[in-house]
Structure 1
Amino acid sequence: MKVLVNGAAGKMGREVLKAVHNDTELTLVGGVDPSHGGKDVSEFMGTSPLDCKIYSQLEEAIEAVHPDVIVDFTTPAIIFENAKLMLTKGIHVVIGTTGLTEAQRQELDSIGRAHYANCLVAPNFSLGAVMMMKTAAELAPYFPDVEIIELHHNHKYDAPSGTAVLTAKLINDAKQKANVKAAEDLTRESLPGARGAKVDDVTIHSVRLPGYVAHQEVIFGGYDETLVIRHDSLSRLSFMPGVVLACKKIKDFAGLTYGLEHYL
């Protein structure tokens, strides 16, 4: 699989460059970054020159290297238009950029199917985080009273995180399927927002501080007991096995898939 990295000079993009280059089943064919066109990707990888170029424009890169799959870690402002372009060109797309709405994901699914190009949108590429979400959904029917605390660095674009929102949705789906409900919350806020934000029936609290990377606790309350699942990504390296896995498996999953757990 020939892989192009969009957003190659960013913090996540640099790690993706290295992860793809180091995998024997993938071939790194270039990167895209508007501020660094013409440079060798090695400048962002700490390696000797690789004769592999950074392009300033996405369409230019596609025409030059004809990738099989593009990994996108750019910004919410441009991800939707980027994804439409890539899928229309018949290229598989692995998206780690946040900000796509459900309606936009449905549109991308239609575009992808029409051009035989698949798309993965993953709120989190950490295999440990995916396992945390799956475990939380399995516990929800037995512990319907649950809240989520997610902690990230203070440069993260969104709050709550996509991981926390997806975790809450998986928990709510599991509770509805089991026909269980949380106990009534009798607390009344003396300061608006003190109890966090709701995704359906699950409360999420977001922490944004320097020093954090990506962390989440799912706290279940039971009859005289509590149960806590916690996952910590200690660096961006923790996301790379999931990105590599996605590049290898995306050709087998038609249309748009939301969440890396479907690839496991």
Structure 2
Amino acid sequence: MTEKGKVRVVVVGANGRMGREVVRTVVKDPGLQLVGAVDRSVEKEDVGVVLGLGETGVYFSDKLGETLLKSEADVIIDFTTPNVVRDNIYTSLEYGVRPVVGTTGIPQEDLQAWDRILQDKGIGGLVAPNFAIGAILMMKFAAQAARYLPHVEIIEMHHDQKLDAPSGTAIKTAEMIVKERQRMVQGHPDEEEKLAGARGADFEGMKIHSVRLPGYVAHQEVILGGIGQTLTIRHDSISRESFMPGVAMAAKKVMEFTGLVYGLENLID
């Protein structure tokens, strides 16, 4: 039964590592109501029982469209993988359900297409490379600092199961920095890589390096160099709980605007 005044949420990939955290967050948040949970690995079991939250009356399903129709959802939250998120979002748009997406590696053409559909339907959607508030502040501070220290390298470190490199957060950080400084060539003009890729990927003249190791969750350093000084801005997500305040905020804020917003920083003052 729908609770008045609450945003009705379906979590996609609800039995995954991020999905489980999202489910817990939605269940505990007084402004949200869990009305559906989609996952291919579990079916017809109470979500709360599987996750140790007690009975919720919401059961796992492997059919997204059917779940959206029956639940009358307002929002889907999707932290699946790049190879399935595309179909999930087009399904949600077909049913007029607002997407909140944490999956990275989505092509620009898909983002543009989703924006057009959302505009036509008069509803909002959000795609964010990172939902940790501290990470958003790190990106903002780095972009501001690059006005004065334009020589920049980005090092991002993630667990070894992450599929895309560099991370969406690193790319988004670089995009924000580029808005504050022009493209420039860094390092010595005669620099030579003895091993291909040793200097990292090039993005508008700055270098991005990706580390993938067990033990990491999500971490990033932005190192800015100047004459006789360096500035390092670093953010560490120690656990996936770090993303949840941003996810909850996004699920509520997405009800307030039209079209696709890319990046949680656009929802923060």
TM-score range, shorter chain: over 0.9
- In the alignment, the residues of structure 2 paired with residue 71 and residue 85 of structure 1 have an alpha-carbon distance, to the nearest angstrom, of 13
Matches within 5 A, 1:175-254: 175-176=181-182, 181=184, 183-186=186-189, 187-254=191-258
Cα distance, 1:181 vs structure 2: 3.8
Among 144, 147, 156, the alignment partner of 2:150 is 144
Cα distance, 1:184 vs structure 2: 4.6
Conserved 8 A contact 2:74-2:97: yes
Q: Give the stretch that moved more between structures: 202-211 or 185-194.
A: 185-194
Cα distance, 1:41 vs structure 2: 0.7
Q: Secondary structure at the match of 1:239?
A: helix
Equivalent in the alignment of 2:133: 127
Q: Which amino acid aligns with 2:252?
A: K
Structure 1's unaligned 5+ residue stretches are none
Cα distance, 1:201 vs structure 2: 1.9
Cα distance, 1:69 vs structure 2: 0.5
- In the alignment, the residues of structure 2 paired with residue 44 and residue 114 of structure 1 have an alpha-carbon distance, to the nearest angstrom, of 38
Match status 1:171 vs 2:177: yes
Match status 1:161 vs 2:164: no
Q: Secondary structure at the match of 1:78?
A: helix
Cα distance, 1:249 vs structure 2: 0.4
Equivalent in the alignment of 1:114: 120
Q: Secondary structure at the match of 1:134?
A: helix
Conserved 8 A contact 1:144-1:182: no
- In the alignment, the residues of structure 2 paired with residue 105 and residue 254 of structure 1 have an alpha-carbon distance, to the nearest angstrom, of 14
Among 66, 85, 89, the alignment partner of 2:72 is 66
Conserved 8 A contact 2:131-2:244: yes
Cα distance, 1:74 vs structure 2: 1.2
Equivalent in the alignment of 2:9: 3
Q: Which amino acid aligns with 2:163?
A: Y
Conserved 8 A contact 1:146-1:203: yes
**Percent identity of the aligned residues?**
49
Equivalent in the alignment of 2:3: none
Q: Secondary structure at the match of 1:124?
A: coil
Conserved 8 A contact 2:155-2:211: yes
Q: Give the stretch that moved more between structures: 78-87 or 234-243.
A: 78-87
Conserved 8 A contact 2:125-2:260: yes
Q: How many residues are aligned here?
A: 261
Q: Which amino acid aligns with 1:129?
A: A
Q: Which amino acid aligns with 1:5?
A: V
Residues 88-115 of structure 1: per-residue CA shift (max 9 Å, x gap): 2111110011221111100000011112
Residues 76-95 of structure 1: per-residue CA shift (max 9 Å, x gap): 11211211121121111100
Relative distance call for 1:116 and 1:44 in structure 2 (3 A) is: farther
Equivalent in the alignment of 2:4: none
Equivalent in the alignment of 1:76: 82
Equivalent in the alignment of 1:255: 259
Match status 1:25 vs 2:25: no
Relative distance call for 1:44 and 1:12 in structure 2 (3 A) is: farther
- In the alignment, the residues of structure 1 paired with residue 86 and residue 245 of structure 2 have an alpha-carbon distance, to the nearest angstrom, of 25
Cα distance, 1:60 vs structure 2: 1.3
Conserved 8 A contact 2:69-2:95: no
Conserved 8 A contact 2:132-2:243: yes
Q: Secondary structure at the match of 1:51?
A: coil
- In the alignment, the residues of structure 2 paired with residue 261 and residue 86 of structure 1 have an alpha-carbon distance, to the nearest angstrom, of 24
Match status 1:101 vs 2:104: no
- In the alignment, the residues of structure 2 paired with residue 45 and residue 127 of structure 1 have an alpha-carbon distance, to the nearest angstrom, of 25
Relative distance call for 1:258 and 1:44 in structure 2 (3 A) is: farther
